Amino acid sequence: MNEGWLVWWRLCITAVSLWLFFLAKGKIQKIKARDFIKIGAIGSLLALHWLCFYGSIKYSNVSIALTCLATSGLFSAVLEPAILRQRIKPFELILGLLALLGIGIIYFTNLHFSVGIYIGLLATIFTVIVSVLNKKIVGAYLPETITLYQLTGGFIGLTIFMPLYHYLFPTDIIFPVKFDWLWLLILSWGCTILTFMLYISALKKLSAFTMNLTLTLEPVYGILLAFIIFHENELLSPYFYAGFLLILAAVFLQMKKLVKENKALKMTE
């Protein structure tokens, strides 16, 4: 399946499953129409992130797409202060530029993956915007409510967009066939719903700081898995590793900074 219909079916299965699950549990929280539009709009941006992320994989590979995702620090350093009207932090901007240098090396030495890199960077911008916007609404409703209406809004938004997308990127395969259903169920139930439930459970025992710190490692272990499962290391130029090391350095420096800030915060409490 192409990336568009893959994401549409993933959201369809996820949204329907969540509504059935929360209805059975009696955990449906009613919200105002304007709040649903606001939360649903963020969900539509999340759908576009998935669309671009899978598109990046289709036009390049898993390693390239995850490497682009590792540049979220650069976009966060610029977009978060702009959206939340805060001052730009010079250190975070420097780390972001270091990651951008790594992307530059990967780009100019893997030009055959250039389209995938463009789409991957766009996916990163969308996920950063979603993260920043979620910070503005996270205190208003329960996490379960935000997730339910956000993914529902994402499904509705992508459904409205799909006729245009299908016109621009036509495909004969719209309905899942054979093992497509299995993979979609894994994506929906395992990688979306179950992951969310585990995340909420972990937050009861771990701080949000610790959880966010572990998320920064996603591109690292994701790329290692891509090497092991798909042998993508055989398709990449030696310069990829130089660029990836720069990005990795930026990620670990950011982690070190966060750990230091967290310790300082605990000492003041």
Could you report the average pLDDT of every consecutive run of 10 residues in the chain (269 residues)?
94 95 88 91 94 94 88 76 78 80 86 91 90 78 85 96 93 90 93 78 61 69 89 83 84 76 71
pLDDT of residue 136: 77
pLDDT of residue 259: 74
pLDDT of residue 159: 97
Residues 68 and 121: beta-carbon distance below 8 Å:
yes
Tell me which residue has tokens 């509504």: 19
User: Over the chain, what is the mean pLDDT?
Assistant: 85
pLDDT of residue 120: 93
CA distances from 195 to 14, 73, 144, 198 (A): 12, 23, 13, 5
CA dist., res. 98 & res. 248, Å (int): 10
pLDDT of residue 243: 87
Tens digit of pLDDT for each residue in 72-129? 777 777 777 777 777 877 887 787 788 888 888 888 888 888 999 999 999 999 988 8
Q: What share of the chain is helix, strand, coil (3-state, %, to 5)?
A: 85, 0, 15
pLDDT of residue 163: 94
pLDDT of residue 40: 94
Torsion over CA: 200, 204, 209, 214 (sign): negative
CA dist., res. 244 & res. 238, Å (int): 10
CA dist., res. 10 & res. 25, Å (int): 22
Tens digit of pLDDT for each residue in 16-29? 999 999 999 888 88
Task: Please report, for the chain, how many H helices and E strands are present, in that order.
Answer: 12, 0
CA dist., res. 173 & res. 182, Å (int): 16
Q: Which token pair is 43?
A: 């969900």
pLDDT of residue 201: 65
CA distances from 200 to 39, 131, 147, 204 (A): 19, 16, 11, 7
pLDDT of residue 214: 66
pLDDT of residue 224: 87
pLDDT of residue 78: 77
CA dist., res. 196 & res. 155, Å (int): 17
